[in-house]
A and B are shown apart, each in its own frame.
Chain A
Amino acid sequence: MKGRVFTELFEHVEKRYGADMVDDIIDAAKLSHDGVYTSTGSYPFEEMVSLVKALVAATGQSLPAVLEPFGTHCFESWVSYAPQYFSRDRSLFDILEGIDEFHEVEVRKLYPDAELPSFVPETRSSQALTLGYYSCKPLVPLALGVIRGAAAHVEQDVTLTCEPAMGPRGPYTRIYVNLTQ
């Protein structure tokens, strides 16, 4: 996993829970390198698991409750990095459908070897969008947080549901995005 995800997590934890919480989860995760991450380096995914577990333990919140806001944070950081992909003039569904392009064009430039998740639109109507979420990591709540971040960005209320699904590329998660306004 790219170091950028770890530095983003620390930034998010510091903003949401304070700088001490960052120290605490690094201590609790018992990392071999004392939590030294650089954005372009690559680090074992297990370290992220340990850190998130430590955060769950430290906050007493559930895993989804911890991961979702982090997903929202990730979306906000993308907006500040490449605002042209996430203009508020575009509809929520257009923005969500454009995430893969943003990944492949902008993220790939900096991190050619990154393992990027993918949001593949399946069906779309004026009120509902079905997305296939493909990722080699079990981080569905993070994806839901990204979608909520996008909804908040365009001030759109949504309800999200998801279910496991199977496609030609193997198992994935189908996420239903319904507009509630």
Chain B
Amino acid sequence: MVDSHSSESTASLDQVQRLERRLAREIGARKEAERLLEQKSLELFALNRNLAQLNASLEQRVQERTLELDRERHRAQEQAYRDPLTGLANRLVLQKHLQQAACSGEASSNVAVLYLDLDGFKAVNDSLGHPIGDELLCAVSARLRQCVRESDLVARIGGDEFVVLQMEAPQPRAGTDLAERLIRAVQAPFSIQSHQILIGTSIGIATASTASAEANSMLRDADIALYVAKAEGRGIWRAFEPEMNQQMQVRRHLEIALRCAVAEKEFEVFYQPLVQADTGDLMGFEALLRWSHPERGSISPAEFIPLAEETLLIKPLGAWVLEKACCDAARWPAPLKVAINLSPVQFVKGRLVDEVRHALSISGLDAARLELEITESVLLQNSDETLRLLKDLRDLGVQIAMDDFGTGYSSLSYLRSFPFDKIKIDRAFVQNLADGNGSLEIIRAVIGLGRALNMKVLAEGVETTEQFAALQAEGCDEVQGYLFSKPVALKDAWRTIANDQDRRSMLRSQHVFPQNLCLEGSVGAT
């Protein structure tokens, strides 16, 4: 009993101890859990504080970034409204001001838009380089600014294009006065690095009274007036007139038609005979371009050639004429030659020499039978380069003639600068022969000059037998004009050739040496 009792109590004791230990474990775990909880609370508190600090510093960074962004935006706006080179206002600002001016009602009648384009700037840029060109633009900008009042706006809106917006000034007088001042300011020599530079400016003016006072139309009208100013001789101003717009429209339509014509090959080459003055023999023909518009009919070269030059369409057109005329001439009996006019534009950065070589090669025409006519305006531009081109052409074996001599500057130094084969006296002198106003003396002098320099002399525009007789008497080498034939189509040129050959063979059979003989038949060949 005692043993059983004692073993039961031992078991109970053991159980109690186990329970006590379990309880101790549970209490220990709870305390440990509380400690961990406190530790986590502290960590949470620290995290919270860190979070608050992080938040504050983020707020501060956001503020700083916002400020930075504002500054950048402001800078970007400044840049967006300024021409970076000159610091002048740009087109955007100009548009804004124009719109404001247009909206200001009565005040808009006191606004003038002056559109400036520098004359001769491109040549400076090309010959002296862009850095000098840029400096020049800055110097021009400074002068323009000096000419205007605080309330006016000067903007640069293109390479060498500026616009002055004159505000609150009695128009049109104030605008034209300002244009005069601007022209004088730009005309004065510029000293850039070691270069003395002379340029000019042409100005188109539009005022609310002439334009429709809309921002865009004022600028457009000023641009049109500028175009007219440039066309009329540069270095001048022109105020917009509504007719100018119509002229522009006409010109625009003509340009479109011309582009189509080049693509559609609406052109034809006509030929006008060149006649030996003393024998009356046919020497060749001058090739003359004709445009036959499908609706408007024949369009004058005086109308479309300047436009073709301006739009550079003369380049493909000129190349085509070269090819066509050489091919036609190659079929004519030798030594009949063909004279072809070259435009100054064909001398600028083109492939003129290659084109001539190509025309000769595909036509098989002897180079000696090709005569290229240039006007002195060719020599006016970048003459070193032009002379090199002329020498290259001469090296091909072609003849070079100076056309329209006596008009323009007629500088004798041009005749010295290049050994021309022929001088063509302008028609104006021939037509005024009978007036006794010195034309005869000039023709005589030019013929003498030609002899002295070993250049043939041809007189253009011979219309009467009196003129022809006078020219023969002066010893002129060749003549050309309506007296012999107007420019004719190729098939009629062939008839002229046939008549000339008949006449020559007849003369040979009669052993008669003709004097004062016109090209019989060729006059009536048209």
Chain A residues proximal to chain B, CB less than 8 Å: 19-20, 23, 26, 33-38, 40-41
Supply 19 further A-B pairs (C-beta < 8 A) apart from A34-B25, A38-B33: A19-B18, A20-B18, A23-B18, A23-B22, A26-B25, A33-B28, A34-B21, A34-B28, A35-B25, A36-B25, A36-B28, A36-B29, A36-B32, A38-B29, A38-B32, A38-B36, A40-B36, A41-B32, A41-B36
CA distance A41 to B18 in the complex (A): 24
The smallest C-beta distance from A78 to any residue of chain B, in angstroms, reads 22
Chain B residues proximal to chain A, CB less than 8 Å: 18, 21-22, 24-25, 28-29, 32-33, 36, 40
CA distance A34 to B22 in the complex (A): 10
The smallest C-beta distance from B431 to any residue of chain A, in angstroms, reads 101
What residues of chain A lie closer than 8 Å to B22, measured between beta carbons?
19, 23
The smallest C-beta distance from A17 to any residue of chain B, in angstroms, reads 14
What residues of chain A lie closer than 8 Å to B18, measured between beta carbons?
19-20, 23
What residues of chain A lie closer than 8 Å to B33, measured between beta carbons?
38, 40
CA distance A38 to B24 in the complex (A): 14
Q: Do the beta carbons of A34 and B24 come within 8 Å of each other?
A: yes
Chain A residue, CB-CB nearest to B31: A36
CA distance A139 to B18 in the complex (A): 30
What residues of chain B lie closer than 8 Å to A34, measured between beta carbons?
21, 24-25, 28
The smallest C-beta distance from B457 to any residue of chain A, in angstroms, reads 97
Q: Please give me the 3 A-B residue pairs with the lowest Cβ-Cβ distance, nearest first.
A: A36-B28, A38-B33, A38-B32
16 contacts between A and B (CB under 8 A): A19-B18, A23-B21, A23-B22, A33-B28, A34-B21, A34-B24, A34-B25, A34-B28, A36-B28, A36-B29, A36-B32, A37-B29, A37-B32, A38-B33, A40-B36, A41-B32
Chain B residue, CB-CB nearest to A35: B25
CA distance A112 to B44 in the complex (A): 14
CA distance A41 to B32 in the complex (A): 8
User: Across the A-B interface, how many residue pairs have beta carbons closer than 8 Å?
Assistant: 28
CA distance A41 to B38 in the complex (A): 13
Chain B residue, CB-CB nearest to A40: B36
CA distance A35 to B23 in the complex (A): 12
Chain A residue, CB-CB nearest to B37: A40
The smallest C-beta distance from A18 to any residue of chain B, in angstroms, reads 11
What residues of chain B lie closer than 8 Å to A33, measured between beta carbons?
28
What residues of chain A lie closer than 8 Å to B25, measured between beta carbons?
26, 34-36
What residues of chain A lie closer than 8 Å to B40, measured between beta carbons?
40
Among B25, B36, B40, the most chain A Cβ lie within 10 Å of the Cβ of B25
What residues of chain B lie closer than 8 Å to A26, measured between beta carbons?
25
What residues of chain B lie closer than 8 Å to A36, measured between beta carbons?
25, 28-29, 32
CA distance A37 to B33 in the complex (A): 9
CA distance A20 to B22 in the complex (A): 10
CA distance A20 to B24 in the complex (A): 15
Among B28, B29, B36, B40, the most chain A Cβ lie within 10 Å of the Cβ of B29
What residues of chain A lie closer than 8 Å to B21, measured between beta carbons?
23, 34
CA distance A36 to B36 in the complex (A): 13
The smallest C-beta distance from B31 to any residue of chain A, in angstroms, reads 8
CA distance A40 to B36 in the complex (A): 8
What residues of chain B lie closer than 8 Å to A40, measured between beta carbons?
33, 36, 40
CA distance A19 to B26 in the complex (A): 13
CA distance A19 to B21 in the complex (A): 12
Chain B residue, CB-CB nearest to A39: B33
What residues of chain B lie closer than 8 Å to A19, measured between beta carbons?
18, 22
CA distance A149 to B354 in the complex (A): 93
What residues of chain A lie closer than 8 Å to B24, measured between beta carbons?
34
The smallest C-beta distance from B47 to any residue of chain A, in angstroms, reads 12
CA distance A35 to B21 in the complex (A): 10
Chain A residue, CB-CB nearest to B33: A38
CA distance A20 to B17 in the complex (A): 11
CA distance A38 to B21 in the complex (A): 16
The smallest C-beta distance from B28 to any residue of chain A, in angstroms, reads 3
What residues of chain B lie closer than 8 Å to A23, measured between beta carbons?
18, 21-22
CA distance A62 to B32 in the complex (A): 33
CA distance A34 to B40 in the complex (A): 24
Chain B residue, CB-CB nearest to A34: B25
The smallest C-beta distance from B449 to any residue of chain A, in angstroms, reads 97
CA distance A25 to B244 in the complex (A): 112
What residues of chain A lie closer than 8 Å to B36, measured between beta carbons?
38, 40-41
The smallest C-beta distance from A129 to any residue of chain B, in angstroms, reads 39
CA distance A41 to B33 in the complex (A): 8
Chain B residue, CB-CB nearest to A36: B28
Chain B residue, CB-CB nearest to A42: B36
Among A19, A34, A36, A37, the most chain B Cβ lie within 10 Å of the Cβ of A36
What residues of chain B lie closer than 8 Å to A38, measured between beta carbons?
29, 32-33, 36
CA distance A41 to B31 in the complex (A): 12
Chain B residue, CB-CB nearest to A20: B18
What residues of chain A lie closer than 8 Å to B28, measured between beta carbons?
33-34, 36
CA distance A67 to B22 in the complex (A): 24
CA distance A26 to B29 in the complex (A): 14
CA distance A34 to B26 in the complex (A): 11
Among A19, A33, A34, A38, the most chain B Cβ lie within 10 Å of the Cβ of A38
CA distance A40 to B32 in the complex (A): 10
